[in-house]
Amino acid sequence: MTKITAAITAVGGYVPQFVMTNKMLEDLVETNDEWITTRTGIKERRVLKKEEGEGTSYLAIKAAQDLMEKKGLDASEIDLVIVATATPDSMVASTAAFVASEIGAVNAFAYDLLAACSSFLFGMSTVAGHIETGRYKKVLLIGADKMSSIIDYTDRTTCIIFGDGAGAVLFEPNTEGLGLQDEYLRADGSGRQFLGMEGGGSIMPATIESVTNKKHYIFQEGKTVFKFAVSNMADVAAKIMDRNNLTEEDVDWLVPHQANKRIIDATAKRMGVDESKVLMNIQRYGNTTSATLPLLLFDYEKQLKKGDNLVFAAFGGGFTWGSIYLKWAY
């Protein structure tokens, strides 16, 4: 029996119209363009304003529509919609269910997946499981986040980093040996004391006190998170290469989570991959959390060739991290 793998067959993306530059942030917090650029590699990020649209679902719908238009895909053919996100529209009603209905995916079931900045990476693994059963033919995975909704723009440790955006990919069965080849995914729950959001969940429901004390904004202990991210992202990417007998010449593209340019550089160095093979758009979008990986595919789609070896790597709050080896299918 021919082995079925899950291959990416289409990509779409969307970023909001409003561009927030480093210069603009100088008016909000004590920082400057040189400091931000040197430490993060970020020059600007996108922010979804209410006059353009509301919620993560708006971004996800736009990315999905872009993919469907480019692919000529009829939404009724989609079997499953997964929205990987850290900022769902609401805590109970699934953002993915709303997105599926809005794009016309009437024959799909849908659900959200939350693993902070690793959400899309973990979503790739989840999609592969669905495809490999043989029961699902077209699965839409969307990475989308409206990070501006949980950012305190008086906190310079977070407001300089995050932006809003969405990317979408279509997975379909493949029998040519292309698509997802291997994965190495990890989690360490002790990390939530260093990167997370205290308010809004079952431990700390919204109260006047929680809102007043800014408990509904994301927080991070920068030095600790940076240290964990550098070592763990590099480790799992190197492990995936070693496990699949990949040399630096075999890797055509590194697709790293866009959290910090120094983390990306460290990962590439550990892998021995030349910087010309590293996909990067952090300078334009900042860290869009669940959207970073699909937005890289969206921006670089025309440079990817059938059979190319891609190594994905991500690290997120929780902590969550991992790496995936995928062969490009078109």
pLDDT of 222 strictly over 90? no
Instruction: Tell me what pLDDT residue 133 has.
Output: 96
Q: Are residues 115 and 147 in the same domain?
A: yes
Name the strand (E) or helix (H) holding 5. Answer: strand 5-14
257 tagged catalytic? yes
Q: Are residues 248 and 165 in the same domain?
A: no
pLDDT tier at 127, thresholds 50, 70, 90 = very high
Name the strand (E) or helix (H) holding 315. Answer: strand 309-316
Rounded CA-CA distance 5/54 in Å is 36
Catalytic member of 232, 257, 260, 309:
257
Q: Are residues 219 and 319 in the same domain?
A: yes
pLDDT tier at 2, thresholds 50, 70, 90 = confident
Catalytic member of 117, 130, 174, 232:
117
Catalytic member of 22, 260, 287, 309:
287
The share of the chain scoring above pLDDT 90, in percent, equals 92
**Which residues form the domain of 323?**
180-328
Q: Are residues 220 and 158 in the same domain?
A: no
CATH number at residue 13: 3.40.47.10
Q: Are residues 170 and 191 in the same domain?
A: no
pLDDT tier at 151, thresholds 50, 70, 90 = very high
Average pLDDT over residues 59-67: 98
For 126-130, 228-232, 286-290, which range has the lowest pLDDT when averaged over its residues? 228-232
pLDDT digits (tens, 9 = 90+) for 14-45: 999 999 999 999 999 999 999 999 999 999 99
User: How many domains does the chain divide into?
Assistant: 2
Average pLDDT over residues 53-64: 98
Instruction: Tell me what pLDDT residue 1 has.
Output: 64
159 tagged catalytic? no
pLDDT digits (tens, 9 = 90+) for 295-311: 999 999 999 999 999 99
Find out whether the peptide bond into 319 is cis, omega within 30 degrees of 0: yes
216 tagged catalytic? no
pTM of the predicted model over 0.95: yes
Instruction: Tell me what pLDDT residue 175 has.
Output: 97
Instruction: Tell me what pLDDT residue 34 has.
Output: 94
Name the strand (E) or helix (H) holding 266. Answer: helix 261-271
pLDDT digits (tens, 9 = 90+) for 77-91: 999 999 999 999 999
pLDDT of 118 strictly over 90? yes
pLDDT of 177 strictly over 90? yes
Q: Are residues 224 and 111 in the same domain?
A: no
Q: What is the CA radius of gyration of the chain?
A: 19
pLDDT of 10 strictly over 90? yes
Rounded CA-CA distance 241/325 in Å is 8
Rounded CA-CA distance 163/90 in Å is 19
**Domain final position from 155, 177, 199:** 177
* Arithmetic mean of pLDDT over the chain: 96
pLDDT of 156 strictly over 70? yes
Distances (CA, A) of 195 to 156, 163, 186, 226, 270: 15, 17, 16, 11, 24
Q: Are residues 239 and 320 in the same domain?
A: yes
Q: Are residues 159 and 301 in the same domain?
A: no
Q: Are residues 119 and 218 in the same domain?
A: no
Quick check: helix, strand or coil at residue 250?
Answer: coil
Tokens found for residue 199: 């308010």
